[in-house]
Amino acid sequence: MKVLFLIFLSFCSGTLTAQKIDSSNIKISYIVKFLKDTTDLTSKKEEITGLWIGGNTSIFKSDQKAKYDSLTLETVKKSIKNATDGNMILDFSKLPKPSFIPEVYKKDNKINIFDKILNTTYEFQAQEEIEWIIINKPKQ
């Protein structure tokens, strides 16, 4: 059973680090306004997101999600390091959770979109290529 759990943990830590950017040349920040529940107009939320652009990869995600992912990975590493008798404790309850979950990850010309519905995370490829056009326009 312990071997199965360690294999599962290895898979989880691999999944948590799967969307890494090679090296960020630039980061563009956005304020994203969205409805947490599309059937409830009072569930309007706002979160700062970032587009990190690297040499061959780029990622678009919430700044809070980036922090959460980083803290989650560190918690897993620390728990593995401090395991006693094959037991470890994983507690993510005190980590601040993001409200905006979707991510877009581009590597070379392949674009993957990640989103979470209820407790299931989905990954799918974009049907059309996304072409970013950067214009020189002052802030409003």
Question: For residue range 46-77, what is the model confidence (pLDDT) as tens digits?
Answer: 999 999 988 888 999 999 999 998 898 988 88
Amino acid in the structure at residue 32 = V
Q: What is the DSSP letter of 89?
A: -
- Contacts of 107 by beta carbon, 8 Å cutoff, 6+ apart: 56, 57
pLDDT of 22: 62
| Reported pTM | 0.68
pLDDT of 136: 75
Checking 29-38 for CB contacts under 8 A at 24+ apart, the result is: 29/63, 32/62, 32/100, 34/99, 34/100, 36/99
